[in-house]
Every structure is written in structure tokens, then in C-alpha cells.
Amino acid sequence: MSVMTSAAPPLASEAARPLVEVKNLGRVFDVSKPWLNRLTEGLPRRLLTAAAEVTFSINKRETFALVGESGSGKSTVAKMVVGLIAPTTGEVIIDGVSMSDRRHDADRRRLRRRIQMVFQDPYASLNPRWRALDIVAEPLRAFGIAQSEAETAKQVGELLRLVGLDPADGTKYPHEFSGGQRQRIAIARALACNPEFIVCDEPTSALDVSVQAQILNLMRDLQDRFGLTYLFISHNLAVVRHMANRIGVMYLGRLVEVAPAREMFAKPKHPYTRMLLDAVPDLDLTGRKRKPVEGEVPNPVDPPPGCPFHPRCPFANERCRVEMPQPILTGGATVRCHAVEEGRI
């Protein structure tokens, strides 16, 4: 019995409906001091808006990437999508099932088997006291997929081969593997329950460049073979260019631009997207001047008024300093920018 089977082509009705719909998703964290400290010191509550008004959809067999600097809210959104963090506002709908509506509890439990996550640090995401075979077998046992220990061992061996490891490696502990091998084990564990949707939270950022390419190629091959859908989180635009069909750029908890990957790399619209692309090394030696990302991300506890990017934006005017831009559709992209709306860039 094989754990993963090649996916059949989707029906026309299935292809038309997004697998994942994220609607006005937001998350606010209370980072205040304890109540007694606030009372004695006369301090107000402090709220951190990690994500606000995040809206996007992901079609079946598509890779949607979220990019941005550290602290932009990418990982918070990823954890809300899979249900690790409850949203403060908005909702996530996966295959027609709301992840926050309690009326869909039974549907949610069935859906969880079809959703998996691959984390940034492969060593931190693996139990150091378990052998690799037990780590990969955990979903098989949790969801009752394998009927016996012999069948479990057989399926674990198939999964290890699938990600480029030898079944004999199953007897080793995580510390006996390299970083790339640990991430392969994490991917094998994610594949164990035959998922359809995998959230990848910077899965290659902790790896060497050559190993990154191997893991990315493996993920692309698995997507083609099994019809997987990815939400891919990264701050590396070179990685995103290799993986994504569509890209969402986040800044201080908000999506500032969403566009097809080819269009974004060919003609970025938002000044922040342009700044990120200018910072990518010119490996093709085209001679085009590159400019590093300037300035710092503002404190999310005390964000600037108006457009949160205006302190770093070369196109900012008075309107940008006082009015929050709303998303507008231009070409194939959705952009939050007064300068784009007014035709100044």
C-alpha cells in the first residue's frame, strides 16, 4: 500500500474554486505589562497588530508566496491559515470549510488530515528523542492510516525514499543528519497523511545555498507528482521566483501588492516591492544599478499614521502621511499605494 498516490487531473468545477480563501484576516497581540504593573505605573495597554486586512486565495496545485522583511507578519498569517493561531478578525476557508466557524467542527477535523506544515528550522521541528522512523510514522498512527506496525514501517520506508533518503536512515536520531536531510525528514512527515495543502514557513532559510536548491527542486517535483498546493513563506525573492505562481508582498502586517510572479518580477508596482527587487544580487550581470533596502520597519506597536511605508518611500506626499491606502486593481495586480493610484509611478 503506497502512502502517496499521483493526483488525478482536477474537474473543471474544482479548478474554478480556490482551495484556500483568506478573507480580511487580522491578528492583534496584547503585549502589555501585567495588569498590576500597569495599575501601579500608570501605563496603558499596548497592542501589536501583526496582521490586518489580509486577503488572498490559492487555487489547487498553485504556489502562492508571501514575501517581506522580518516582522512583516508572514509567519503569523501562515499559522492562522493552518489553525495554530486563532485570528482576531476575518476567516480562512479551505475547500469550502470555514476554519473558525464552530458549526463546521466535524468538517474541520476531517480537513486537518489534508493540511500540513513544514517549518523553518528542521532541527527544532523534529523531536530529538525520536528516531526518524517514529517521526515520519507519527501522522500514520495519529490518523490511523496504517493498520499494523509492519505496514507502518513499509510506508515510512516509501516516504523516506520519496524524499531522497535511505529507509535504513530511519533508525537514526535527528542530530545524526545534516540540515538538508532533516528538512527532507520534515517533508516526509508532512507527506505521510497524503495532504493536499502544505504551508511552507521559510523551509530553506536555515540551509546552505546548494542544499536550498535541492530542497526546492524536491518540493517542485512532489508538487507536480501529487498535485500539491503550497503557501510558501520567504524573505528571499530568488527562492520565490523559482517556486511561486503568484506572490503577495507584506509590509507591517498588510499586503501591499499581490500579482502573478512573472508580472511582479517584470514590472513591480509598489515602491516597497521595487525596493526588495533592487536589493536582489544581479547574477546575470546586466549592469542595472541595484539599491539596498533602506530604513527600518517601524515599530508595529506604534506604526506611523497613513501609509505605513511612507517614512521609507521616495514617492510619499502629504496624502500618504495621513491616509491609509486602499487596495486597487491595476493590470493583473492588486496594490495599496496612493502614488500608483494617482499615476505618479
Phi, psi angles (nearest 5°) of residue 335:
-130, 140
Beta bridge partners of 307: none
> What is the per-residue pLDDT across 20-78, written as a single tens digit (0 to 9) for each?
999 999 999 999 999 888 889 888 899 999 999 999 999 999 999 999 988 899 999 99
Least confidently predicted of 100-104, 106-110, 322-326: 100-104
Name the residue type at position 214. Answer: Q
* Cα(228)–Cα(198) distance, integer angstroms: 7
Considering the entire predicted model, what is its pTM? 0.89
Confidence of residue 293 (pLDDT cuts 50, 70, 90): low
- C-alpha neighbours within 13 Å on the C-beta side of residue 344: 14
Q: Cell 522583511 identifies what position?
A: 69
> What is the per-residue pLDDT across 171-218, written as a single tens digit (0 to 9) for each?
999 999 999 999 999 999 999 999 999 999 999 887 888 888 899 999
Q: What is the DSSP letter of 312?
A: G
The residue ranges of DSSP E strands in 128-276, in sequence order, are 197-201, 229-234, 246-251, 254-260
How far is CA 258 from each of CA 25, 54, 149, rounded to the nearest angstrom? 15, 11, 46
CATH number at 12-114+194-341: 3.40.50.300
Say if residue 312's pLDDT is above 80: yes
Sheet holding 63-67, edge to edge: 115-118, 197-201, 229-234, 63-67, 246-251, 254-260, 333-335, 328-330
Q: Are 271 and 337 in contact (CB under 8 A)?
A: yes
* Cα(339)–Cα(108) distance, integer angstroms: 42
Instruction: Determine the 3-state secondary structure of 323 from DSSP.
Output: coil
* Cα(240)–Cα(219) distance, integer angstroms: 13
Structural domain boundaries of the chain?
12-114+194-341, 122-193
Q: Are 113 and 193 in contact (CB under 8 A)?
A: yes
Mean pLDDT of all residues in the chain?
Answer: 89
pLDDT of residue 80: 94
Q: Are 47 and 31 in contact (CB under 8 A)?
A: yes
pLDDT of residue 9: 46
